[in-house]
């Protein structure tokens, strides 16, 4: 990865979405929910048991739903469901419009009115913009971009990279992922 940094990525913060052992050095995962390579990286990191801090790299120019899905994930986080919502989005990337976001939220038992209000809030917009600004300043030019200490990786981590960090690099990914039912399935 060519070094285009104007600043290092910020260290772990109290408001970061961390999955795994918080005492372990985290992999900073700058990603976007509309990116198929991010979905693959997410799955590989999860299966490897990596400690991951998710941060948004949400650029409207990449996909029309990038910012909207990031806002919805932050709104889910306000109800304690960031990682469950993240898993749902990456598991069903072909359906990221609002009715499907509501279906994910409903399946997770989230308050839909609160989710809608929170996703439109200045606080959520500021969070997504902050993460994106910091990603760009840290030299992230593509999604996913991962930082593990001074080690940066643009793209999906392979087994060798995970092994070097002390995680299980031998993980294999399934050929298919489970899909969430469409929002019209199961309606009376």
Q: Is the pLDDT of residue 131 over 50?
A: yes
Arithmetic mean of pLDDT, 28-57:
96
CA 12 from centroid of its chain's CA atoms: 15
Quickly count: other Cβ atoms within 10 Å of residue 40's Cβ. 17
Domain around 59? 25-164
- Report the relative pairing of strands 151-154 and 27-31 from DSSP bridges: unpaired
**What are the backbone dihedrals phi and psi of residue 154, each rounded to the nearest 5 degrees, phi first?**
-100, 110
Strand partners, 148: 151
Task: Give a yes or no: residue 160 inside a domain.
Answer: yes
- pLDDT confidence band for 176 (50 / 70 / 90): very low
Task: Give a yes or no: residue 140 inside a domain.
Answer: yes
| Token pair listed for 56 | 């948004």
> Using an 8 Å Cβ cutoff, are 113 and 129 in contact?
no
Q: For position 69, which CATH number holds?
A: 3.40.30.10
Task: Give a yes or no: residue 94 inside a domain.
Answer: yes
Q: What is the sign of the dihedral through the CA atoms of 77, 80, 86 and 92? A: negative
Task: Give a yes or no: residue 2 inside a domain.
Answer: no
Total domain count, the chain: 1
Residue with tokens 């399934």: 174
d(CA 24, CA 41): 19
Q: Is the pLDDT of residue 184 over 80?
A: no
d(CA 120, CA 90): 22
> Using an 8 Å Cβ cutoff, are 17 and 85 in contact?
no
Arithmetic mean of pLDDT, 145-174:
87
Least confident of 37-46, 55-64, 131-140: 55-64
Q: Is the pLDDT of residue 32 over 80?
A: yes
Task: Give a yes or no: residue 38 inside a domain.
Answer: yes
Task: Give a yes or no: residue 5 inside a domain.
Answer: no
pLDDT in tens, 57-116: 999 878 889 999 999 999 999 999 999 999 999 999 888 999 999 999 999 999 999 999
Quickly count: other Cβ atoms within 10 Å of residue 151's Cβ. 12
Nearest to 72 by CA among 48, 53, 92: 92
Task: Give a yes or no: residue 173 inside a domain.
Answer: no
pTM: 0.86
Per-residue pLDDT, 57: 97
Task: Give a yes or no: residue 188 inside a domain.
Answer: no
d(CA 98, CA 65): 9
């Amino acid at each position: 990865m060519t070094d285009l940094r104007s600043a290092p990525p910020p260290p772990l913060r109290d408001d970061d979405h961390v999955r795994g052992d918080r005492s372990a050095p985290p992999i900073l995962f700058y990603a976007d929910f509309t990116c198929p390579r991010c979905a693959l990286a997410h799955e590989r990191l999860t299966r490897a048991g990596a400690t991951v801090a998710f941060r948004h790299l949400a650029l409207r120019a990449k996909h029309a739903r990038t910012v909207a899905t990031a806002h919805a994930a932050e709104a889910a986080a306000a109800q304690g469901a960031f990682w469950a919502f993240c898993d749902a989005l990456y598991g069903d990337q072909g359906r990221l419009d609002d009715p499907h976001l509501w279906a994910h939220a409903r399946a997770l038992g989230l308050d839909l009115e609160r989710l809608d209000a929170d996703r439109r809030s200045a606080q959520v917009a500021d969070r997504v913009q902050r993460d994106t600004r910091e990603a760009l300043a840290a030299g992230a030019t593509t999604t996913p971009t991962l930082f593990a200490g001074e080690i940066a990786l643009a793209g999906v981590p392979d087994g060798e990279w995970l092994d070097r960090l002390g995680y299980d690099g031998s993980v294999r990914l399934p050929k298919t992922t489970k899909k969430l039912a469409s929002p019209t399935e199961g309606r009376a």
